[in-house]
Chains A and B, each alone.
Chain A
Amino acid sequence: MPFFRNLLDGARAILRKKHVEREMDEELRAYLDDAAREHMRRGMNPEEARRAARMGMGSVESVKESVRAAGWETRLETLWRDLHFGARMLRLNPLFAAAAILSLALGIGANTAIFQLINALRLRRIPVSNPQEIARIAIENRHNASGNFSSRYPDLTYALWEQIRAKQQGFSSVLAWSPSTFNISPGGEVRNVQGLWVSGEFFETLGVQPSLGRLLTPDDDRRGCGASPAVISYSFWRRAFGQSPSVLGQTVTVGRRPFSIVGVAPAGFYGIEVGRDFDIAAPLCSEEMVDGENNQIKNRSGWWLSVLGRLKPGWTVEQATAQLHAISGGAFEAALPPEYNSSTARSFLGFKLKAFPAECGLSDLREGYQAPLWLLLALAGIVLLISAANLANLLLARATTRQKEMGVRMAVGAGRGRLIRQLLAESLLLALIGAGLGGLLAQGLSSALVASLTTTDNPLFVDLRMDWRVLGFTTALALLTSVLFGLAPAFRATNVTPGVALRESNRGSTGGRSRFALRRILVVTQIALSLTLLVGALLFARSLNNLARLDAWFRQDGILIADIDFTPLHLAAENRRAFSTELLKRVREIPGIDAAAAAAVVPLSGDSIGHDILPDTGDGGDSAPTVVFNIVSPGYFDTLQTPLLAGRDFNDRDTPGSPNVAIVNRSFAKQFGNGGNMVGKTFRVRVMNKITTYEVIGLVQNTKYIELREDSRPIVYTAKSQHDRPGTDALLLIRSRTNLASLMTAVKEAAGAANPDMDISFSTLRKTIDDGLVGDRLMAALSGFFGCLAVVLAVIGLYGVISYTGAQRRNEIAIRMAMGAGRGNILRLVLQEAAVLLAAGLVIGTGLALAGGNAAAAMLFGLKPWDIWTFLMAHSGLGVVAVAASLLPAIRASLLDPMTALRDE
């Protein structure tokens, strides 16, 4: 009760301030009257009595002040008054306020934006009920697994999923899912959306409720199901159906199969993959029908599913793992792919299932971008430090000019602590406004970051909602920076003896050497930190440049990729090879096309085919090396302009009936042919349990295969015309100098002339390669931005300090000039000062950059973090800018008229 009373009275004191004050006045007046009457009763005349009463009370204001101080509301009021006063001071210096707020907003904004991404990818839990109960079931230390790996999370095969569902006991329910792209175009040019294959238990296990209609249930997911119901995401509902409730019962085609929409997932539910959203979720069983003969459900060695479960009450991840261990033997035995050879079967049967905590969901982005994001956060933090140092510097300069003001205020009775609090309130105000603007800036910045990482084939979705972590981070940052840049100047400004401060003129002994040391230290720190950032920025820029200018030994520009899917034609296997040859022939006949070829894998797309190379005798055991393959048509090397170093290209005489032939690259020849010319030699390849012997007919230059960063790996090219299981699509690489749009139309027409009922999608090799470099480009751009910002801030700091020195040493300079020093001498004197600061900053910065470089080492390509040229560039760049910035104040000092300066004194 007393507590609430206290609270209530305090609130009343704030809200009805006038009233409460009037009451207090009246009470005190009554007291004085009583005291005066008492004095009169003892014989004083009224005049004397009133004076005596007043003297007995002392200062009425100070009594009132101590009464006010008895309530909690006063502290709040003081803070409010301080903030109010601070705002007035800032309004008096709008230029200073604007510069301070802008640099803080940039610094805090950049930090918040990057933290938002880290928070969304790393810290936040998935949008399901009780996410802490969700665990991922996968194979512990999986290695030497073989088969077809598709989807971003190829943890398990369908056969293993069936085993787990039947035998597990630690989970109240388990689910399987696989992300995929769904082509929702009814025919013609492909239109891909983000799809999920989900088992019937998916939504139930996650505890998700529909926002419209119903979600999928185990009844929807029965082996052999045909056209099935599907659920769409809230965002897809909004985007494609304008949130119309009549969406229920409508049909959407996936791979030309009709699915009827039965429900809409709740808003904000993006699935369990952090960093991506989905559009359509369809039952797992439909995959068999949609993917036709390439389906993964029947493929015993098809790794494509991710399995999660909700732990039973009271079960821990460890207990669930123990139970999964117990069932592993039987499960892997039952799910063993029959096409495995003895070596792969041995590893498969040795696998053990394990449960992993998955409350934060799954995310390949998390793994890929975690290190860069932490590094960027560190860089942004340094920028904020530099801008805080700049503010501290500005405030320190102001502190010196405000010492007189502080002296006056102390003389009239203000305590030092009170003044420091007031000055800190001013910095706090700056920081809070800066943080507010920075927070707004961060919203735009973080979405721009996500957008810059998004590519058409790889759309990212990061839930960037503000939450308490982001809010707390930004607030903490604001408080921290305000103390960082406000505390020292506040102490400095109030470190005065009132008498001394009042007596002294503005310029004189107050600005001693030691007083100035702090500002010099700040500038040295700024230069050191900005050098570190500049080195970082240059490292990333040069690394990106190395990647972009790398000679991959194939042509990267002017190559169109056309993926023509003729599954809808339902061609028999024996007719497909002829059809795809026919397609290629028609495309080659298009006028303006220089060359065209078919391939199974587009280089640098991230796809790969790998097989084991066996020694000339024996089965190679478990240690047979795996190399990557591509299956190409004649003219592939000509199309990409990869040099054929020896032997010949594939030709029409390489048929299924003729001996199997292969073209290898130099790395392959080096590893398997002792570096000699392998043309004419043979080697053996094992695909599952089948062994094939190939004769080498050509040797080509090394090219990059999966990514630009890789060392040249051994590659084997086999002839598409000899491939024993021709697929139902043709991936064509087309080199042409005509413009892209008309080329695409021409290719569509040429393909349509062969058969109009096919799905076509286009891309270019340049785009494929660029998409692989988004991360590198982002690092280069952001670190470059931070580096430039840091240099600008540091140079402003240096300029300020040098100007200040010039002003401070006016007398000294004037006397020197009067004694005969030339302008050149003075110029040298001031520049020397700048040079000392710069040199100290550069030395310390070099140390910092060397120490910090290791954090970036793994992200660099083609250069080391201690790359000498990078350091030279950074040093000279920063040096030139810094000298230029100090030249202006130096010239100003040297133009001083000694007589005027000395007369002023």
Chain B
Amino acid sequence: MTDKAASGLVQGTLDMLILKTLELEPMHGYGIGQRIEQISNGVFQVNPGSLFPAFRRLERAGLMKGEWRDTENNRRAKYYALTAAGRKQLRGEARQWTRQAAAIARILESET
């Protein structure tokens, strides 16, 4: 259990990761959390206490919208999908993030 990684997640970063997860297809709450965990190989464990407030925040900001749908096992769940604004926001943030990460990596390398 690497809880410190999850708690170390900056708020803005979590928002970006959620948006990224939704890039391919709409997903429901548990699925989003699972996906982030899987793709990060368990580095990021997202607990519901930060996930759901982030949903409310992103929904309010108009970056994604929620919709009640039936799941594959015939239950109702709230699926979130990216809006056009969300897609644009994601592109911008991803670009900025990559640039920053590369810069930080260079700095760290030069120190060794």
Give A contacts to B, CB under 8 Å. 1-2, 5-6, 9-10, 23-24, 26-28, 30-31, 33-35, 38, 56-58, 62-63, 66-67, 69-71
Complex: chain A residue closest to B45, CB-CB: A56
On whether the beta carbons of B78 and A56 are closer than 8 Å, the reply is no
On whether the beta carbons of B52 and A28 are closer than 8 Å, the reply is yes
Distance in angstroms from A46 CB to nearest chain B CB is 15
On whether the beta carbons of A30 and B60 are closer than 8 Å, the reply is no
Interface mask (B42-67 → A, CB under 8 Å = 1, otherwise 0): 00000111101111110111100000
Complex: chain A residue closest to B60, CB-CB: A6
- Given A31-B29, A57-B48, does the pair A2, B62 have CB atoms closer than 8 Å? yes
On whether the beta carbons of A67 and B52 are closer than 8 Å, the reply is yes
Q: Which of B47, B53, B75, B85 contacts A70 (CB 8 A)?
A: B53
On whether the beta carbons of A1 and B62 are closer than 8 Å, the reply is yes
- Given A27-B78, A30-B76, does the pair A56, B47 have CB atoms closer than 8 Å? yes
Q: Which 10 pairs from chain A and chain B are nearest by CB? A: A34-B30, A70-B56, A2-B62, A70-B53, A66-B53, A57-B48, A30-B77, A67-B52, A70-B57, A31-B30
B28 at the interface (CB under 8 A from A): yes
On whether the beta carbons of B34 and A28 are closer than 8 Å, the reply is no
Contacts of A5 in B (CB 8 A): 60-62
On whether the beta carbons of A30 and B78 are closer than 8 Å, the reply is yes
Contacts of B33 in A (CB 8 A): 31
On whether the beta carbons of B78 and A23 are closer than 8 Å, the reply is yes
On whether the beta carbons of A35 and B30 are closer than 8 Å, the reply is yes
On whether the beta carbons of A63 and B49 are closer than 8 Å, the reply is yes
Complex: chain A residue closest to B62, CB-CB: A2
Contacts of B76 in A (CB 8 A): 26, 30
On whether the beta carbons of B60 and A27 are closer than 8 Å, the reply is no
- Given A2-B85, A70-B60, does the pair A58, B30 have CB atoms closer than 8 Å? no
- Given A23-B78, A28-B48, A71-B60, does the pair A34, B85 have CB atoms closer than 8 Å? no
With A10-B60, A57-B47, A66-B49 known, 16 other A-B pairs at CB within 8 A are A5-B60, A6-B62, A9-B59, A30-B28, A30-B76, A30-B77, A31-B29, A31-B33, A34-B28, A35-B30, A38-B34, A56-B48, A58-B48, A63-B48, A63-B52, A71-B56
Contacts of A63 in B (CB 8 A): 48-49, 52
Interface centre among B49, B54, B57, B76 (most CB of A within 10 A): B49
On whether the beta carbons of A6 and B61 are closer than 8 Å, the reply is yes
**Bound complex: CA A6 to CA B76 (Å):** 25
**Bound complex: CA A309 to CA B61 (Å):** 56
Interface size on B, residues (CB 8 A): 25
Contacts of A67 in B (CB 8 A): 52-53, 55-56
Contacts of B60 in A (CB 8 A): 2, 5-6, 9-10, 70-71
Give B contacts to A, CB under 8 Å. 28-31, 33-34, 47-50, 52-57, 59-62, 75-78, 85
On whether the beta carbons of B75 and A69 are closer than 8 Å, the reply is no
On whether the beta carbons of A30 and B75 are closer than 8 Å, the reply is yes
Contacts of A35 in B (CB 8 A): 30
Contacts of B50 in A (CB 8 A): 66
Contacts of A33 in B (CB 8 A): 75
**Bound complex: CA A67 to CA B56 (Å):** 6
Contacts of A58 in B (CB 8 A): 47-49
Distance in angstroms from A669 CB to nearest chain B CB is 92
Distance in angstroms from B102 CB to nearest chain A CB is 30
Contacts of B62 in A (CB 8 A): 1-2, 5-6
Contacts of B53 in A (CB 8 A): 66-67, 69-70
**Bound complex: CA A71 to CA B50 (Å):** 14
Contacts of B57 in A (CB 8 A): 70
**Bound complex: CA A31 to CA B30 (Å):** 5
**Bound complex: CA A24 to CA B56 (Å):** 10
Distance in angstroms from B62 CB to nearest chain A CB is 4
Contacts of B28 in A (CB 8 A): 30, 34
Contacts of A34 in B (CB 8 A): 28-31, 77
On whether the beta carbons of A30 and B49 are closer than 8 Å, the reply is no
**Bound complex: CA A30 to CA B75 (Å):** 8
**Bound complex: CA A58 to CA B30 (Å):** 15
Complex: chain A residue closest to B63, CB-CB: A2
Residue pairs across A and B with Cβ atoms less than 8 A apart, 23 shown, are A2-B60, A2-B85, A5-B61, A5-B62, A9-B59, A9-B60, A23-B78, A26-B76, A27-B29, A27-B52, A27-B77, A30-B30, A30-B75, A30-B77, A34-B28, A34-B30, A38-B30, A57-B49, A58-B48, A66-B49, A66-B52, A67-B52, A70-B53
Interface centre among A5, A28, A31, A71 (most CB of B within 10 A): A31
Distance in angstroms from A786 CB to nearest chain B CB is 52
Contacts of A2 in B (CB 8 A): 60-62, 85
**Bound complex: CA A67 to CA B34 (Å):** 20
On whether the beta carbons of B48 and A31 are closer than 8 Å, the reply is yes
Complex: chain B residue closest to A66, CB-CB: B53
**Bound complex: CA A6 to CA B85 (Å):** 14
Contacts of A57 in B (CB 8 A): 47-49
**Bound complex: CA A62 to CA B47 (Å):** 12
Contacts of B56 in A (CB 8 A): 67, 70-71
Complex: chain A residue closest to B73, CB-CB: A37
**Bound complex: CA A34 to CA B77 (Å):** 10
Distance in angstroms from A677 CB to nearest chain B CB is 98
Contacts of B54 in A (CB 8 A): 70
Distance in angstroms from A274 CB to nearest chain B CB is 51
**Bound complex: CA A28 to CA B85 (Å):** 26
**Bound complex: CA A170 to CA B30 (Å):** 78
Distance in angstroms from B10 CB to nearest chain A CB is 16
